[in-house]
Amino acid sequence: MTRLAATRWTAAADLGYNPTAQLSEHPQPAMELVVLVDERNNVVGTMPKGEVHQARTPLHRAFSSFIFRARDRHLLLQQRSRKKRTWPLMWSNSCCGHPGPGESNLDAARRRLRDELALEPILLEEVAPYRYCFTRDGTMENEICPILVGLVEREPRINPDEVEAIRWSEWPDFLRAIERNPEQYSEWCIEEARILAGTPRCHEILRL
């Protein structure tokens, strides 16, 4: 049985994390580093992406993007790859990821959209803040995770190491689906969608 717990505003210090001990003086060039932060989003260190998600994950920077098809404003949903350590095979928003040291959220989102879906957005904006912490199957997600909204003109090509499947959904249908069948979607995707439903800039982009 899946064990699911939700918490809010969990400080890195509360997780027994020592940022000084985790700083990488000589990271390998190919190593993707995650930026560790305090509750005010001040940088306290870095950690290899492959090591950061644990039973008690330190707070770190991330982003979530909701990407819409320009011609009809349908939302791109992805089913997370079975190979992922966190939330495998769960349906979620278009693309998530982590900005590296010195990388903006927008640049990180563009990088991950290319890597996961071979997409180049014609519009991409950060429209709302978000902070969350959830645990599933013994692994915690603990992130300061602003929400981005974008438009694309091309169809995606999935990277099977990152994405299991995709589908397009009309925005109102998706909002109904997360209320009707919340167990099918990641918890952060549900909360972020509710935030976007009340965000004026998202309404402008979707022409609602």
CATH number, domain with residue 67: 3.90.79.10
Q: Which residue range is the domain that position 64 belongs to?
A: 60-206
Name the 3-class secondary structure at 37: strand
For residue 181, being part of any structural domain is answered with yes
For residue 38, being part of any structural domain is answered with no
Question: Is 143 annotated in the active site?
Answer: yes
DSSP H helices in 11-74: 19-22, 49-52
Determine the longest span between alpha carbons in the chain, in angstroms.
49
For residue 16, being part of any structural domain is answered with no
The model's pTM: 0.85
Q: Do the beta carbons of residue 148 and residue 127 sit within 8 Å?
A: yes
Catalytic hit among 96, 145, 189, 202 = 96
Q: State the total domains in the chain.
A: 1
For residue 74, being part of any structural domain is answered with yes
Catalytic hit among 143, 162, 187, 191 = 143
Question: Is 95 annotated in the active site?
Answer: no
> In which residue are the tokens 């990271």 written?
27
Burial 18-35 (b: 16+ CB within 10 A, else e): ebeebeeeeeeeeeebbb
Distances (CA, A) of 15 to 8, 69, 129, 191: 13, 40, 23, 24
For residue 21, being part of any structural domain is answered with no
Sheet harboring 60-61: ordered strands across? 4-7, 131-136, 139-144, 60-61, 33-37, 43-48
For residue 8, being part of any structural domain is answered with no
For residue 80, being part of any structural domain is answered with yes
pLDDT by position in tens, the chain (length 208):
433 444 334 333 344 444 433 333 333 346 899 999 999 999 999 999 999 999 999 999 999 999 999 999 999 999 999 998 889 999 999 999 999 999 999 999 999 999 999 999 999 999 999 999 999 999 999 999 999 999 999 999 999 999 999 999 999 999 999 999 999 999 999 999 999 999 999 999 999 8
For residue 91, being part of any structural domain is answered with yes
